[in-house]
Amino acid sequence: MAFDFDLVVIGAGSGGTRASRLSAGFGARVAVVEDGRLGGTCVNVGCIPKKLFVYASHYGEDFADAAAYGWDVGPRRFDFARLRKHKDAEIARLNGVYARILDEAGVTRIDGRARLVDAHTVAVGDRHITAEHILIATGGWPSLPKTPGIEHALSSNEVFALDALPERVTVVGGGYIAVEFAGIFHGMGAATTQLYRGDLFLRGFDGDVRRALASEMRKRGIDLRFGSDVTRIEKTGAGLRLTLNDGSALETDAVLYATGRAPNTRGLGLEALGVKTGEDGEIVVDDYSRSSVPSVWAIGDVTDRLNLTPVALHEGICFARTVFGKQPTRPHHRDVPTAVFSTPSIGTVGLTEEEARAQHGDVLVFRSSFKPLRHTLTGRDEQTLVKLVVDRTTDRVLGAHMLGPEAGEIIQGLGVAVKCGATKAQLDSTLGIHPTTAEEFVTLRQPV
């Protein structure tokens, strides 16, 4: 049977764009369907605009710290609208880069919302497109609870389109996006409250790091409340009134819900086709990202394996190699380094202490907490934490964790070591770069 294309990709986000371009590079005839802006979540309403906001949020502290280093800084004013304008221009530029990448690879771009008609046909409006393979890379979508008044809340989609900085912001949630936005709003000058219904935020991260971040955020003045949730949101003349689970009220100007994301599978026609999905709507795939229907594949957040851009890219690369490159390649999801761009930031790779104890039993923990050199002059009360988790029997480094400035930049390098199976002795034999925070990772001598 002759198909219109060898591959139709649904979604031109991180994973879909990478898979389209590489598959075309292997000689496949590829079309990609996108109903939003090219680049998907990461480029438009995720990693990139968020990191730009994080940069913006750090200047206030930097200006304040400058005095100890001899700099007098004049009157300060933060213009959110200007930041938003510059951010929008950069995102528009990136949208153009994505279009060029696809065009130069010879990928046919189709605008619109796609749904599956049969195992080899995708419909976009009235148009039917056939392909030997279909790749679903539709990502995820913010998931908000059904709290009364939830229509007054922002999700991470809308937060990037705010026209002005609210004076008072409440962030609801305990995942990495929630802590990042609490830091962003506070740093920009909003009176910030973060509410999380659990005992401690950032479930799945190392316990020491979670506790240390909570302490640093509180020191900065963020009103961080655990065991706290919103039961009702009401619009008032002055803003919003949140009723909390203890019956108290909290007045705020904006409430951001960062309460998780769900796979974007609704309306795709998966059920009718027999594509197996999991409890949260995620597409169930095998080790090679193939769904229960052999011609249908899925990568990225829609499969809910590890929802990060580099993972979606990696799965896209493995897909293209497997299907069009004649090199069956399984994506791996172990020892993936990651960062939380909170203030201060977190970097982490490998097992947390809790996971290591559960999986390996006998582990050694090396930990150091100290005031960074920069703050010896500023006097700022900030602690950096570095931590290694080591298997006592094999001496292998199972996990490396950090809380402090540039944690992501530092942990990326350690990620190579952990992935290569480095031992503690090998880290000890590595000389430090002095004076840096990173050198602490090779000078930790006594287990705690």
* 54 makes contact with ligand FAD (CB under 6 A): no
CB nearer to ligand FAD: pick between 136 and 389: 136
Quick one: which of 337, 352, 343 has its CA closest to 388?
352
Nearer to ligand FAD, 54 or 397 (CB): 54
399 near 350, Cβ under 8 Å? Answer: yes
Q: Give the separation between CA 386 and CA 400, rounded to whole angstroms.
A: 8
Q: Which stretch binds ligand FAD (CB under 6 A): 44-52, 127-135, 242-250, 388-396?
A: 44-52
- State which residue, 201 or 366, has the beta carbon closest to ligand FAD: 201
Q: Assess 281 for contact with ligand FAD (CB under 6 A).
A: no
**210 phi and psi angles, rounded to 5 deg:** -60, -45
H or E stretch including 235?
A: strand 230-236
Q: Which stretch binds ligand FAD (CB under 6 A): 132-140, 163-171, 343-351, 384-392?
A: 132-140
Only segment of 43-51, 83-91, 185-193, 421-429 that touches ligand FAD (CB under 6 A)? 43-51
Q: Which of 86, 133, 332, 434 is catalytic?
A: 434
Question: Which residues contact residue 410 at a Cβ distance below 8 angstroms, ignoring those fewer than 6 apart?
Answer: 347, 402, 437, 438, 441
Helix (H, G, I), strand (E, B) or coil at 252: strand
Residue 78 CA to chain centroid, in angstroms?
26
Q: Which residues 21-40 are close enough to bind ligand FAD by CB under 6 A? A: 33-36, 40
Angle at 205 between CA 140 and CA 228, to 5 degrees: 75
Residue 181 CB contacts under 8 Å (≥ 6 apart), including other chains? 50, 156, 159, 171, 256, 258
According to CB under 6 A, which one of 206, 208, 282, 301 is a site residue for ligand FAD? 301
289 binds ligand FAD (CB under 6 A): no
Nearer to ligand FAD, 41 or 352 (CB): 41
CA distance 55 to 341: 10
Token digits of residue 15: 């994973």
What is the contact mask toward ligand FAD in residues 162 to 191, using x (rule: CB under 6 A)?
Answer: ---------------x--------------
For ligand FAD, which is the closer residue by CB, 142 or 399? Answer: 142
The residue with its CB nearest to ligand FAD is: 13
Q: Which residue has the tokens 């100290």?
A: 370
434 is catalytic: yes
Active-site residues, by number, are 434
Residues that bind ligand FAD (CB under 6 A): 10-16, 33-36, 40-42, 46-47, 50, 113-114, 137-139, 156, 177, 264, 268, 300-302, 307-310, 312
